[in-house]
Amino acid sequence: MLNIVIFGPPGSGKGTQSLKIAEKYNLIHISTGDIFREELANNTTLGQQARGYMDAGNLVPDELVIAMLESKVDKSLALEPAGFIFDGFPRTIMQAEALEKMLQRKNSFIKGVLALEVEDAELIKRIMGRGKDSGRADDVDEKIIKNRIKVYKSETAPVAGFYEMYGKLKIIRGKGSVEDIFKQLCESIDEYQQ
Ligand code: B4P
């Protein structure tokens, strides 16, 4: 299976690029942020548990994320996919380790991690722009957006080092046109498949 992680700070374009990658390579797109937002919209217990963390721009606790992700992967495996693109997961070292173990149990592994690099000022600009019509509580308040970036740097950025240790990390500049960035991402994915 072609399993890829798309990695980067909030607003770096993970969601935008994942949709395009999923379509081109016929992968199942798993966005933990989208799943939580759906749970929230449906007012499920999981959604209620995640709400406070998300609205404040903090991470949802690992136990909740990992259990939810595994159940989503299990359901999707029934469709015999070509692979997965994980978007917004893993966001902590603990999640990265859990993902490795979970895929090992399914005789699979992560082929590569594509990290989008974008400077803070551009991230804030993009997220504030999206906030005008996204309806997301975490997209409108600059203080909350800055907290998301701070949480990314302290809790999520170390995950890049985890994958670098295994030679799986590829850094791609996330500023430029969506199509140019997509082209670079595809070049990396095509290398995994050679
Ligand atoms: P996410 O849903 O993952 O939100 P994100 O990081 O803001 O999204 P992304 O980087 O995908 O941005 P996008 O492409 O949309 O997480 C939200 C919250 O959920 C987290 O804060 C956390 O609380 C919780 N959560 C999720 N996963 C978790 C986990 N694993 N563990 C714990 N908690 C978790 O792009 C943003 C904007 O930029 C868009 O408007 C887009 O149009 C624009 N854009 C994209 N590419 C562009 C480009 N090249 N140029 C200009 N603009 C561009």
User: Can you count the helices (H) and strands (E) in the chain?
Assistant: 9, 5
- For 91-124, the pLDDT digits (tens) are 999 999 999 999 999 999 999 999 999 999 999 9
pTM to 2 decimal places: 0.94
Q: Is the dihedral of CA 38, 40, 45, 49 positive or negative?
A: positive
Task: List pLDDT tens digits, range 22-53.
Answer: 999 999 999 999 999 999 999 999 999 999 99
> Given the structure tokens 């990992």, which residue do they identify?
66
Angle between helices 158-165 and 93-105 (to 10 degrees): 40
The ligand 1 site (C-beta within 6 Å) comprises: 8, 10-16, 31-33, 36, 53-54, 57-60, 65, 88-89, 91, 95, 126, 129-130, 138, 148, 178, 181
**pLDDT (tens digit per residue) in 128-166:** 999 999 989 999 999 999 999 999 999 999 999 999 999
Q: SS3 of 45, please?
A: helix
pLDDT-derived band at 184, boundaries 50, 70, 90? very high
